[in-house]
Amino acid sequence: MGNQFKTVALLAALSGLLIAISYWVIGGTSGLIIGIGLAAVTNLFSWYQSDKIALAVYRAQPVSQAEAPGLYRMVEKLSARANIPMPGVYIVPSQTANAFATGRDPEHAAVAVTEGILNILPEDELEGVIAHELTHIINRDTLTQAVAATVAGAISFLAQMLSYSLWFGGGSRDNNRGGNPLGILLTVVLAPIAATIIQLAISRTREFSADAGSARLTGNPRALARALQRLEATARQLPLDANPAFEPLLIINPISGKFLGNLFSSHPATEARVEQLLKLEQQSSTKSY
């Protein structure tokens, strides 16, 4: 319940930021009303189209049981074990090793893996990855992350519009409020950063939860730990090229960076995730996790 409350609060903060920027861009009461409407439409659009958007971004293609029998059987087996409907199965035409899940709920979900991950992971490690993605579906992380990505993208777009109005528009747009150039400038600079930080706060804690869910579902936390280490090593050599707003959906950060790259990473450090999984393995010898 605490995690759900935190998520709702963070999504509300993103929507509030979107409304505030709309106020600055358009001005006055009309800007406020338009901002509220824009936030509502953006969230509603994300709710119903999140799966299609993410799959299109990564050019994922649906596959049948005949086309990918091993992968299909694995998803089917783990879905039955998790007591959720069988999601759609997709393959991304990329040699980068990664995976993601999407969809607004377990009844409208999809799991996608790249060609690369199928080539490099042994069966037990791939099973850990699939179980991780199914846990995201169970926890409805897929919807949360897609909505956050869409709203954050809208915030960045409006901040860009505001920067154009600042440099080329000039003056205040509404006599009911003062045009504070410093306030506008701070909004242009800080709003996209704030949106990114809020989005990351939503994403990072959910990765640990999905890792733990995978450990429970497979009974083999070490296999996922090995998979994460292998995936991180390949991500450095062959990053996945796609819209950065959708990086939180992936099981591993597609670009390994240093310094600020790590600060603004959409995922917690792989070392921390591996350490947590190995702790779960130790606990399994004395109690069920």
Q: Which residues are catalytic?
A: 133
pLDDT band at 284 (very low <50, low <70, confident <90, very high): confident
Q: In this predicted structure, what is the pLDDT of residue 277?
A: 96
Q: In this predicted structure, what is the pLDDT of residue 145?
A: 72
Find the Cα–Cα–Cα–Cα dihedral 273, 278, 282, 288, rounded to 10°. Answer: 50
Task: Report the half-sphere exposure of 289 (CA within 13 A, side-chain side).
Answer: 23
CB-based contacts of 195: which residues, under 8 Å, 6+ apart? 14, 17, 151, 152, 155, 156
Q: What's this model's pTM, rounded to 2 decimal places?
A: 0.76
Q: How far is CA 112 from CA 50, 51, 52, 252, in A?
A: 14, 11, 12, 13
Residue 143 within any structural domain of the chain: yes
**pLDDT (mean) for 47-57:** 79
Residue 256, pLDDT > 80, answer no
Residue 70, pLDDT > 70, answer yes
The helix (run of H) or strand (run of E) holding residue 198 is helix 181-218
How many angstroms separate the CA atoms of 255 and 60, rounded? Answer: 19
Residue 140 within any structural domain of the chain: yes
Residue 156 within any structural domain of the chain: yes
Helix (H, G, I), strand (E, B) or coil at 245: helix
pLDDT-above-70 percentage for the chain: 62
Write out the residue range of the structural domain in which residue 166 sits: 2-283
How many angstroms separate the CA atoms of 14 and 39, rounded? Answer: 9
Pairing of strands 88-92, 109-114: parallel
How many angstroms separate the CA atoms of 111 and 282, rounded? Answer: 29
Chain segment 12-51, per-residue pLDDT in tens = 777 777 777 666 666 667 766 776 776 677 666 666 676 7
Q: In this predicted structure, what is the pLDDT of residue 46?
A: 66
Q: How many domains does the chain have?
A: 1
Residue 16 within any structural domain of the chain: yes
Report yes or no: 92 and 114 within 8 Å, Cβ to Cβ: yes
Report yes or no: 129 and 111 within 8 Å, Cβ to Cβ: no
How many angstroms separate the CA atoms of 247 and 203, rounded? Answer: 10
Residue 243 within any structural domain of the chain: yes
Residue 221 within any structural domain of the chain: yes
Q: How far is CA 159 from CA 29, 170, 182, in A?
A: 19, 16, 14
Residue 289 within any structural domain of the chain: no
Q: In this predicted structure, what is the pLDDT of residue 178?
A: 42
Residue 288 within any structural domain of the chain: no
**Burial of 88 by CB count in 10 Å (0-12 exposed, 13-18 middle, 19+ buried)?**
middle
Chain segment 91-134, per-residue pLDDT in tens = 999 999 999 999 888 999 999 999 999 999 999 999 999 999 99
- Euclidean distance between the first and final Cα of the chain, in Å? 19
Phi first, then psi, for residue 121 (nearest 5°) are: -95, 135
Residue 84 bridge partners (DSSP)? none
Residue 202, pLDDT > 80, answer no
Mean of the per-residue pLDDT values for the chain?
79
**pLDDT (mean) for 142-160:** 70
Report yes or no: 40 and 60 within 8 Å, Cβ to Cβ: no
